[in-house]
């Protein structure tokens, strides 16, 4: 039987060192659970620019189209800030999402019991938190045309266009409703229908999809700014939140801090189902490349490890193995082991990036 294929793109900054810990865990599953992958590795972002002069080589893009899933570390860094916009590391990431047509970005925000005191919000507000933000990821203001910086008279001006089609809204809404059916059966759709025509269309299409095909799922609508406020006030009122590209970017980062650290949050970006029955997919931690701590053994690998757990669940039909890995992470955190980003006033046992990977493997055993 053909082994499932996985393309690993470590990227920049802390990306390579957290990916080393994921590789160790993949090896553990191969050795002890018989779960073998056909793994290839390549460059993206600044690393690809350094090697090829572009943030994503065409050959790497072709590989990404062929594999069952892509696992990405992080891209970017200050050394690339002066590059032309088209050459910045982030353009490699956006190209992957666009050309693979990965339209539904799943960003869970889960507060592990051991970290409930670490959140900036009160423990009773975040304890037991488990929400999923579904962010549309191939359209909206990040991709709309016209865009650019232009001159008019003696002044420059910048344009970005918020654009959505009915079909783009329809497909991400369906993804959110399907997820909700496997969770607590609630969806809150967030937009700015009070001031944006794209928001009016968004609300209309989400409601239509609900009424025609998902009447069993509880649906509510909320303006995105009010949603941000409610995430800080009482986040446990939400189950699945579906929203556009820009608002999803902002809201998911806000939700990340409810859990205590960006270093804890994974993500999955899913596309159309392929002939093998699996969705095209890319998995990556929500955090950035953190170049200020790169190479120092301070990075938290948990978000990248949990991204692999999401790959097990959504791409490889290995829900039991995903549960096992997530449970191992919970055990390690409960034991008090902490990377630098998780060392708060309550203290803990300080460990390195590599030590965290080893501890999770020990908990798996």
Question: Residue 117 falls within a domain, yes or no?
Answer: no
Question: Residue 116 falls within a domain, yes or no?
Answer: no
Catalytic pick among 253, 331, 355, 358: 253
* Domain match, 151 and 201 both: yes
SS (H, E, C) the chain: CCCCEEEEEEECCCHHHHHHHHHHHHHHHHHHHCCCCEEEECCCCHHHHHHHCCCCCHHHHHHHHHCCEEEEEECCCHHHCCCCHHHCHHHHHHHHHHHCCCCEEEEEEECCHHHHHHCCCCHHHHCCCEEEEEEECCCHHHCEEEEEEEEECCEEEEEEECCCCHHHHHHHHHHHHHHHHCCCCEEEEEECCCCCHHHHHHHHHHHHHHHHHCCCCEEEEEEHHHHHHHHHHCHHHCCEEEECHHHHHHHHHHHHHHCCCHHHCEEEEEEEECCCCCEEEEEEECCCCCCCCCCCCCCCCHHHHHHHHHHHHHCCCCHHHHHHHHHHHHHHHHCCEECHHHCECCECEECCHHHHHHHHHHHHC
Burial classification of residue 143, based on how many CB atoms lie within 10 Å of its CB (0-12 exposed, 13-18 middle, 19 or more buried): middle
Nearest to 93 by CA among 202, 15, 175: 15
pLDDT value at position 125? 86
20 contacts 71 by C-beta, under 8 angstroms: no
* Domain match, 238 and 275 both: no
> Is residue 79's pLDDT more than 70?
yes
pLDDT range class, residue 219, cuts 50, 70, 90: very high
Question: Residue 11 falls within a domain, yes or no?
Answer: yes
* Domain match, 284 and 254 both: no
* Domain match, 247 and 145 both: yes
Among 197, 229, 258, residue at a domain's last position? 258
Catalytic pick among 214, 249, 283, 298: 249
* Domain match, 250 and 272 both: no
pLDDT range class, residue 345, cuts 50, 70, 90: low
Question: Residue 318 falls within a domain, yes or no?
Answer: yes
Among 258, 283, 315, residue at a domain's last position? 258
| Per-residue model confidence as pLDDT tens digits over 105-114 | 999 988 887 7
Domain of residue 330: give its range: 1-103+266-365
pLDDT value at position 210? 98
Asked about 239 being catalytic, the answer comes back as: no
CB-based burial, 24-44: b 16+ in 10 Å, e otherwise: bbbebbeeeeebebebeebbb
Among 258, 290, 315, residue at a domain's last position? 258
pLDDT value at position 231? 93
CA atoms within 13 A on the CB side of 80: 24
* Domain match, 246 and 322 both: no
| Per-residue model confidence as pLDDT tens digits over 224-272 | 999 999 999 999 999 999 999 999 999 988 887 787 666 788 999 999 8
Helix axes 302-314 and 353-364, enclosed angle (nearest 10): 40
Catalytic pick among 88, 192, 280, 298: 192
Question: Residue 321 falls within a domain, yes or no?
Answer: yes
* pLDDT mean over 92-108: 93
* pLDDT mean over 211-220: 98
Question: Residue 109 falls within a domain, yes or no?
Answer: no
CATH code for the domain of 213:
3.40.718.10
d(CA 97, CA 126): 31
Question: Residue 164 falls within a domain, yes or no?
Answer: yes
d(CA 307, CA 149): 36
Residue 242 sits at φ, ψ, to 5 deg, of -115, 135
Q: How many residues does the chain have?
A: 365
Catalytic pick among 49, 142, 214, 283: 142
**Is 0.85 topped by the overall pTM?**
yes
Asked about 283 being catalytic, the answer comes back as: no
| Per-residue model confidence as pLDDT tens digits over 10-58 | 999 999 999 999 999 999 999 999 999 999 999 999 999 999 999 999 9
329 contacts 305 by C-beta, under 8 angstroms: yes
| Per-residue model confidence as pLDDT tens digits over 286-311 | 888 999 999 999 999 999 999 999 99
pLDDT value at position 277? 72
* Domain match, 22 and 48 both: yes
* Domain match, 86 and 17 both: yes
* Domain match, 46 and 143 both: no
| Per-residue model confidence as pLDDT tens digits over 145-170 | 999 999 999 999 999 999 999 999 99
> Is residue 1's pLDDT more than 70?
no
* Domain match, 134 and 252 both: yes
pLDDT range class, residue 66, cuts 50, 70, 90: very high
Catalytic pick among 117, 130, 213, 225: 225
Counting the structural domains of the chain, the total is 2
Question: Residue 110 falls within a domain, yes or no?
Answer: no
Asked about 101 being catalytic, the answer comes back as: no
* Domain match, 153 and 223 both: yes
* Domain match, 144 and 193 both: yes
301 contacts 357 by C-beta, under 8 angstroms: yes
């Amino acid at each position: 039987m053909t082994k499932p294929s996985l393309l690993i793109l470590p990227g920049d900054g802390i990306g390579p060192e957290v990916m080393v810990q994921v590789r160790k865990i993949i090896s553990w599953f191969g050795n002890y659970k018989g779960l073998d992958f056909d793994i290839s590795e390549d460059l993206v972002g600044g690393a690809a620019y350094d090697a090829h002069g572009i943030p994503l080589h065409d050959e790497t893009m072709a590989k990404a189209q062929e594999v069952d899933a892509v696992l990405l570390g992080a891209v970017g860094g200050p050394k690339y800030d002066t590059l032309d916009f088209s050459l910045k590391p982030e353009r490699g990431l956006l190209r992957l999402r666009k050309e693979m047509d990965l339209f539904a970005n799943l960003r869970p925000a889960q507060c592990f019991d051991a970290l409930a005191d670490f959140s900036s919000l009160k423990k009773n507000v975040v304890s037991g938190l488990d929400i999923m933000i579904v962010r549309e990821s191939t359209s909206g203001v990040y991709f709309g045309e016209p865009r650019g910086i232009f001159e008019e008279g003696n002044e420059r001006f910048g344009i970005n266009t918020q654009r959505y089609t009915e079909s783009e809204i329809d497909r991400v809404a369906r993804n959110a409703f399907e997820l909700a059916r496997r969770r607590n059966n609630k969806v809150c759709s967030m937009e700015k229908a009070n001031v944006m025509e794209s928001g009016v269309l968004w609300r209309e299409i989400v409601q239509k999809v609900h009424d025609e095909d998902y009447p069993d799922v509880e649906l509510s609508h909320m303006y995105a700014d009010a949603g941000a406020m409610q995430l800080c006030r009482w986040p446990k009122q939400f189950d699945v939140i579906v929203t556009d590209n820009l608002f999803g970017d902002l809201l998911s980062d806000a939700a990340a801090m409810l859990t205590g650290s960006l270093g804890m949050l994974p993500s999955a970006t899913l596309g159309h189902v392929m002939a093998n029955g699996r969705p095209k997919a890319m998995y990556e931690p929500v955090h950035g490349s953190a170049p200020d701590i790169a190479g120092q053994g301070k990075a938290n690998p948990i978000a990248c490890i949990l991204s692999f757990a999401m790959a097990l669940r959504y791409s490889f039909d290995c829900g039991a193995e995903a549960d096992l890995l997530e449970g191992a992470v919970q055990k390690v955190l409960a034991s008090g082991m902490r990377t630098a980003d998780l060392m708060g006033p309550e203290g803990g046992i300080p460990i390195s990036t590599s030590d965290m990977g080893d501890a999770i493997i020990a908990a798996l055993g």
